[in-house]
Amino acid sequence: MTARSYNDWVNDDGLRIRFGRGLAQVTRGGEFSDADGGRTLVEVDVVGTDLKAFNDATDPTTILDWNTRIPPGAYLEAAELDVQVAFAGATATLTLGLVKASDQVAAFTDLDADGIDATIAVTAIAAAGDTITCDGALIGTVLGTDSGGYLVSAEAGTANFTAGKAKLRIWYRMPLDSSLT
């Protein structure tokens, strides 16, 4: 993972602001707009061996990409995990969620640590081509209005992963009227 750069941030409008002469960094995520202009896809790599140790009592949360954010007030339509390299790791489980990007320091405030999906068993992601339709509590809801937006997080549970890579895809819309979602 790349180190967090403190010379850039996302303003209240959701636009990235950057100062300085820093070099480009490789990221693990990105954002794509659908042709209709209303739906956005966020895609982030989940690498099993890059997740913090499952028994890390201080902060088990791993931020999957520091530069990929879901904006405040977004309506999360759907999410899926597409396995590219089989996951392995005894009885490991994978939990996917969101944290408040405004925290940006050591300890993060979970919006919902398992809001994308909770405790996906290693057996469900043990082969390339496995696809999980995520069903966490945040799917089908409008996110809060935290000014920094939200970062995608992952946690290993019960054991560490020794292998595995997947694409996490999250689709969202910015509702014109929250009563329409």
What's the pLDDT at 24? 43
φ/ψ (deg, to 5) at 11: -80, 180
- As a whole number, the mean pLDDT across the chain is 81
Read off the pLDDT of residues 8-48 as tens digits, 9 standing for 90 and up.
Answer: 555 655 555 555 655 444 455 556 566 566 889 999 999 99
Nearest to 163 by CA among 51, 27, 44, 28: 51
Predicted model pTM: 0.78
What's the pLDDT at 81? 98
Strand-pair partners of 112: 98
Average pLDDT over residues 52-66: 81
% of the chain exceeding 70 in pLDDT:
71
Average pLDDT over residues 129-135: 97
Say if residue 6's pLDDT is above 80: no
* Residue 39 CA to its chain's centroid (Å): 17
Read off the pLDDT of residues 147-174 as tens digits, 9 standing for 90 and up.
Answer: 788 999 999 999 999 999 999 999 999 8
Cβ neighbours of residue 86 closer than 8 Å, sequence gap 6 or more: 125, 126, 127, 128, 130, 163, 164
Nearest to 126 by CA among 168, 165, 79: 165
- Torsion, Cα 118 82 35 9, to 10 degrees, reads 60
- Kindly indicate the confidence band of residue 2, based on its pLDDT and cuts at 50, 70 and 90: very low
What's the pLDDT at 116? 96
Domains, the chain, in order of start with CATH, read: 31-175 (2.60.120)
What's the pLDDT at 37? 62
Would you state the structure tokens that stand for residue 71, as one six-digit string? 């904006």
Q: Check: CB of residue 136 under 8 Å from CB of residue 117.
A: yes
